[in-house]
Amino acid sequence: MATPRIVALTAPSGAGKTTVAQRVLSLVAGLSFSVSATTRPPRDGERDGVDYHFVSENDFRRMLDGDLLIESEEVYPDLFYGTPRAEVEKATRDQPVLLDIDVLGALRISKLYRDDTLTVFIRPPSMDVLRNRLLGRGSEGTESLGKRLRRVQFEMEHADRFDAVVVNDDLERAVAETVSLINAFLERQST
């Protein structure tokens, strides 16, 4: 029985996904954030157990071995990210979860939970806007910025495999469009 309950939100770094995600979480009733595990170090202001479960590579491997992650990805060289099985399995139509996830992770989740999942790709208006947003964020060293920009190209190539693509040219419009897509998905009848 399919039950709409998983929203996988994907965007190239700097496309504004985190802001869209936070706004969407406050606007869709019952929607909660699926906290991923990662081996990347926390950025300023990020909290363990809230933004991510920040774990060592050994702990990440132990989670994988224990089948505690439903999907995982080396999103950047030597930086691992994974969705805890428990976050997805506890989700229901009334208490759906939002996954902030890379392009491959989103497609994998959608394959595992086809009719339970809505995949949304947040697209930046242009590569220039994206580069400037990443530079403006100032949280990335030059090497990390380069890595992220290379990754963007790759992610953009998969946009057409998503259920919906939302262009983030205007934040309010992008949030409104994402919220209405999610509400329509959650209102869908079970089959």
Q: Residues in the site for ligand 5GP, rule: CB under 6 A? A: 13, 36, 40, 71, 73, 75, 81-83, 100-102, 105
Cβ at position 179, least distance to ligand 5GP in Å? 19
Residue 153: what residue type?
A: Q
Handedness of CA 35, 41, 44, 47 (dihedral sign): positive
Cβ at position 187, least distance to ligand 5GP in Å? 26
Cβ at position 93, least distance to ligand 5GP in Å? 22
* Residue among 28 and 63 whose Cβ is closer to ligand 5GP: 63
* Residue among 105 and 124 whose Cβ is closer to ligand 5GP: 105
Cβ-contact 92, 31 below 8 angstroms: no
Query: How many CB atoms lie under 10 A from the CB of residue 78?
Result: 8
Cβ at position 105, least distance to ligand 5GP in Å? 2
* Residue among 71 and 116 whose Cβ is closer to ligand 5GP: 71
CA 139 to centroid of chain Cα atoms: 19
Give the position of tokens 């989700």: 91
